[in-house]
Amino acid sequence: MIIIPAVDIKNGRCVRLLQGRKDAETVFADDPAAMAAKWAGDGAQLIHVIDLDGAFKKAPRNQPSIEKILDTVNVPIQVGGGIRDEKTITMYLDAGVDRVILGTEAIRNPKFVAWACKTFPGRIVVGIDARDGLVAIEGWTQTTRTKAVDLAKRFEDSGVAAINFTDIHRDGMQTGPNIAETRRLAESVSIPVVASGGVSSMEDVKNLLPLKVVGVEGIITGKALYTGTLILKEAISYVISKA
């Protein structure tokens, strides 16, 4: 299991949103690349980058900031937010992004996601963001009637590199991850799962670690790293010690 720091970009700055709400924004840094470099220096094996403006506008909006991150760090980067077509996927992969995250399209156009998995093997991550167990799309502004577990099952044989599972109610709230739902989703598929939402302390990391046996291979954390309630180096060292 690995600890994955999040760099969320809005208007070119590194921010965190509470439960994905645009009106609940905290700016943590003016230079996302500098933050990515800090996390890379602390031992991150993968950095999770989200173009928040892209998610809301349905198309990339922060490419310059993402390109600067790619120029600054040497660790793999996964990018999500507003990725809706082959052109955007190719643009990011050609720029040096390791994996791209498809969220809304998993609901809107699952055939496209399956095609992308086959066309770009090992490079496509499906982002499943849930509110009360139901998938939310369009930058979390719309909640569907599709259950998160059911959506995950649709991609069982598509070659998805991983599923990023986020409990929206807990995202940015530092209230602890949804262990039960994360376990349930991981047990429902053979695809590797990355847990996200609510991770705020070393205790949360310890509580998620047992889920490795059911396929949870990573933990995304953002606000906790920025506020200091979780120290990346310590979390990485702990996970390595338990491997």
User: Could you give the 3-state DSSP secondary structure of residue 1?
Assistant: coil
DSSP codes joined into one string, 26-94: EEEES-HHHHHHHHHHTT-S-EEEEEHHHHHHTS---HHHHHHHHHH--S-EEEESS--SHHHHHHHHH
**Amino acid in the structure at residue 182:** T
Radius of gyration of the chain from its Cα atoms, rounded to whole angstroms: 16
* Given the residues 129, 167, 171, 204, the one annotated as active site: 129
User: In angstroms, what CA-CA distances link 206 with 3, 22, 45, 113?
Assistant: 12, 31, 19, 33
Q: Within 10 Å of residue 169's Cβ, how many Cβ atoms?
A: 15
8 is catalytic: yes
User: In angstroms, what CA-CA distances link 122 with 90, 110, 140, 158, 192?
Assistant: 14, 17, 25, 11, 12
Determine contact, residues 72/33, Cβ cutoff 8 Å: yes
Cα(216)–Cα(193) distance, integer angstroms: 5
Closest to 233 (Cα-Cα) out of 82, 39, 22: 39
Residue 134's H or E segment, with its range, is strand 134-137
* Given the residues 8, 98, 171, 204, the one annotated as active site: 8
150 is catalytic: no
Give the active site residues: 8, 129
